[in-house]
A and B are shown apart, each in its own frame.
Chain A
Amino acid sequence: MSPAPADVDLHDRVVAGDEGALGEIYDRFGSFLLALAHRVTRDREAAHDVVQEVFAHLWERPLTFDPARGAMRAWLATIAHRRAVDWVRKEERHRQLGRENPAELAPAAVQPGPEAELEATETVREVRRTVSDLPDGLREAVELAFYRGLTYRQVAVELGIPEGTAKSRMRSALRQLANRLAEEGAV
């Protein structure tokens, strides 16, 4: 997969210490990353902290990203997800399915700017369809882990299945997802 020229150019500029490039990447992906972080943490301030952390990491260690290995958007999402899950794990509060009154993100007073890439539209429909097409057991395991930040052990408890089954469902689900996306040319 050859890297998107925009990714390469922005990455080169960040590597070269160009602050303007960091701002441009923020304008493109900040909203998307915030929405993802909020989806997992269910906490407005935590979501903002996660986004701040993602950009600090990108600026400080740009060579941990290699455009030849995948899209910058996906890489940033991976970091955001990991930080959001770390926050969830650190939380002392007892986890329930469906948190009471999570702090909502304030709705936009103005629309995000035109450069904001809210949805990777080529991918998003295929991904949604593929995920909803997964057998229930696989889909649930993946959703509990990815969107709720549960460990596989916690997922096993939640679904009333052995730990080994939780692990293998996650692996199968992702393999199926990867295969379907490759067929669609979406990964």
Chain B
Amino acid sequence: MSVPGAGHVATLLGAWALDACDGAEAGAVAAHLRACTLCADEAALLRSAAAALSESGLAAGTHYPDLAPRRAGVLAAAGTRRRPAPAVPNFAAPFAATAGLLESVLAEVDDRAWNRRSVVHTWTAGDLVAHLAASDALVAAAIGLDPDPPVEPGQDVLAYSEAFIAVARAWPPRRVLSHWRAGVDAIAARLCARPEVAEQVVDIGATHMSVANQLIIRAFETWIHARDIGEVAGVRVPAPSDRHLRPMTELAAKVLDTLPRLGIFSSTGHPGPVGAVQLTLTGRGGGSWLVRIGTQAPPPAVPDAEIVVDAVEFCLLVAERRGADELGAVVTGAAELAAELFALAPILAQP
């Protein structure tokens, strides 16, 4: 699709790729590229050729100076622009990593994006940050901290979150971010001081599980909402790395397998399919688990069905960011049993 003046911009693409335009022209080209895929494709091609020039311009035998004396200074200067992930004991590594991930996403969120509606309820990107801070506060209270606003015993999780979102809407973004960061730091410090708290079983909302597992759920929620915020800001958010995603998929498989123990025997509340499914997740966060559906009886030697699906896609199903038909899953054996597993998965993400 051609745009008025597109021909003029196209002639500049070579110069632009070489950084040989002046500031105003470079700005005009960049703006045009956001609207015109034809020029954007050529620009990308020319850019990659220009980047290759950075290799050839260095003559054979160029003296490459030792940079060790400058290393600390460079890293320290970088450190003034953005904080690292907080230090935590190993069991909380996913929580720290997804906090870091959210920090990276927030660097791409300006004030306009902050106030833009996300896919979650009617919440804006800013509301999602407030929601994460509130949800973190519930865990903080469970490990003996004193978050603000205070958490009452037996606190209703939804009410607490909505109350804080309302308060945070009146704050400038900077203050909401500080509050979220302070909450993460307080939890991290507490975990470093008292790592034994990992095995302590705590009740938050309807969940009754170890602090270690509560933090995996925090990590999962932080990642999913970081993704939602990224969508609002127009930036692609990578999934957590395998070592951080694996504890999340592992927990999901284990909880799915034990749903009957929590009184959940089917997705509909009426009697449904019963059996065992071999759930194999591929790619980062991957693994393979035998998941019983609708029963706690010992599983058969051969599973009734097998599902092979990408781990990240499966996580997005749990988070209800994907439908079961969008997963690209390969199902063999009892199809209705596999479908029941997909239908049960989002229950894991309910508060």
Contacts and interface: CB of A to CB of B under 8 A. Distances in A.
Nearest to A56: B78
Contact of B19 (A13, A19, A82): A82
B79 A186 contact: no
A81 B71 contact: no
Interface residues of B, number: 66
A55 B74 contact: yes
A119 B19 contact: no
B48 interface: yes
Contact of B64 (A32, A128, A181): A32
Contacts of B173: none
B344 interface: no
B2 interface: no
Report whether over half of chain B's contact residues are helix, strand or loop; otherwise say mixed. Answer: helix
A144 to B, nearest CB: 9
Nearest to A8: B238
Interface string A152-187: 110100000000101111111111011001000011
Given A17-B104, A63-B237, A131-B56, A55 B78 contact: yes
A16 B245 CA distance: 12
Interface residues of A, number: 89
A31 B64 CA distance: 6
Interface of B: 11-15, 17-22, 44-58, 62-68, 70-71, 73-75, 77-85, 96-101, 103-105, 107-108, 230, 235-238, 240-241, 244
Interface of A: 9, 11-19, 22-23, 26-27, 30-32, 34-36, 39, 48, 51-52, 55-56, 58-64, 66, 69-70, 74-75, 77-78, 80-82, 85, 105-113, 116, 118-120, 123-124, 127-128, 131, 142-143, 145-147, 149-153, 155, 164, 166-175, 177-178, 181, 186-187
